[in-house]
Amino acid sequence: MKKSAVFRLVLIFILAFVFSLPAALAAGQSQETESTVPELTAFHEVIYPIWHTAYPEKDYAALRKFAPEVKAGAEKIYTAKLPGILHERQAKWDLGVAELKKGVDVYLAAAAGQNDQALLSSAETLHSLYEMMVRIIRPVLKEVDDFHKVLYVVYHQYLPGKDYDKIRGVAGELVTKAEAIGRAALPKRLKPKAEAFHKATTDLYESAKALAATKPDAGLAAAVENVHSKYQDLEKVFE
């Protein structure tokens, strides 16, 4: 092959890499700001027929048949990594994984045995543990999750990089999203916390407005830290 042809091929590969890099970086950032764990989502494919069909119909043969799928799906959850936006829930996730593993072991043992009642009971426990895992990572309110996605990038990327122009660029968006949280309706189970929720959302909104009003670079870091602190206070309301 001529040197000119080789050069053109190398140039094509370099250009392809350069143009694909922004998309790859954007995809990586998107994954880091999504409150999901694909392995847990996939596990629902076996939990659903167990809980909604085999369990209510007391189909013990089906419950035993699902054992390999339960084992394979659960093992993927044990080694799953939380996205960056959920790093503050790592401790709760680890405890949930430990409990899920116990529940899976009990289910597998029951599936291998002859005690149908023990198998039925283990299926109920397995479903409860799965739901517990989902609650650990699922945002209580969509509006809170929307706010956190923006704050995560600000706090973990823009602030450490001292990219103050980008912080100013999204400050108004934080105000809008904080205001949306204040208008959101609490789930019924959280109604007793309505007063604490109202105070936390008001404080968050005021901190976001203060950030948006901060112009000098010198004050932005403290303003962002304040927003982050108020967001953490809001998260505590849901604990």
- Kindly list the domain boundaries of the chain, sorted by start residue: 38-137, 142-237
Task: Note the pLDDT of residue 198.
Answer: 96
Phi, psi of 4 (to 5 degrees): -65, -40
Q: What is the DSSP string of 20-73?
A: HHHHHHHHHHHHHT----HHHHHHHHHHHHIIIIITTTT-HHHHHHTHHHHHHH
Residue 58: left (phi > 0), alpha (psi -120 to 50), or beta?
Answer: left
Cα-based torsion angle of the residue sequence 99, 104, 109, 111 in order, rounded to the nearest 10 degrees: 150
Q: Over the stretch 184-204, which tens digit does the pLDDT of each residue have?
A: 999 888 899 999 999 999 999
Please name the residue that has the structure tokens 């517990």. 132
Task: Note the pLDDT of residue 160.
Answer: 94
Task: Note the pLDDT of residue 36.
Answer: 85
Say how far apart CA 154 and CA 148 lie, in whole Å. Answer: 10
Which residue ranges in the chain fall short of pLDDT 50? 6, 10-11, 13-29
Task: Note the pLDDT of residue 91.
Answer: 93
pTM, two decimal places: 0.70
Cα-based torsion angle of the residue sequence 94, 157, 143, 231 in order, rounded to the nearest 10 degrees: 70
Question: Is 33 in contact with 82 (CB distance < 8 Å)?
Answer: no
38-137: CATH, from 2.60.120, 2.30.30, 1.10.3470, 1.20.120:
1.20.120
Question: Is 200 in contact with 230 (CB distance < 8 Å)?
Answer: yes
Task: Note the pLDDT of residue 85.
Answer: 86
Report the candidate in 96, 72, 102 with the shortest Cα–Cα distance to residue 82: 96
Task: Spell out the long-range contacts of 197-205 with Cβ–Cβ below 8 A and sequence spacing 24 or more.
Answer: 197/234, 197/237, 200/230, 200/233, 200/234, 200/236, 200/237, 201/234, 203/230, 203/233, 203/234, 204/147, 204/178, 204/230, 204/231, 204/233, 204/234, 205/175, 205/178, 205/179, 205/181
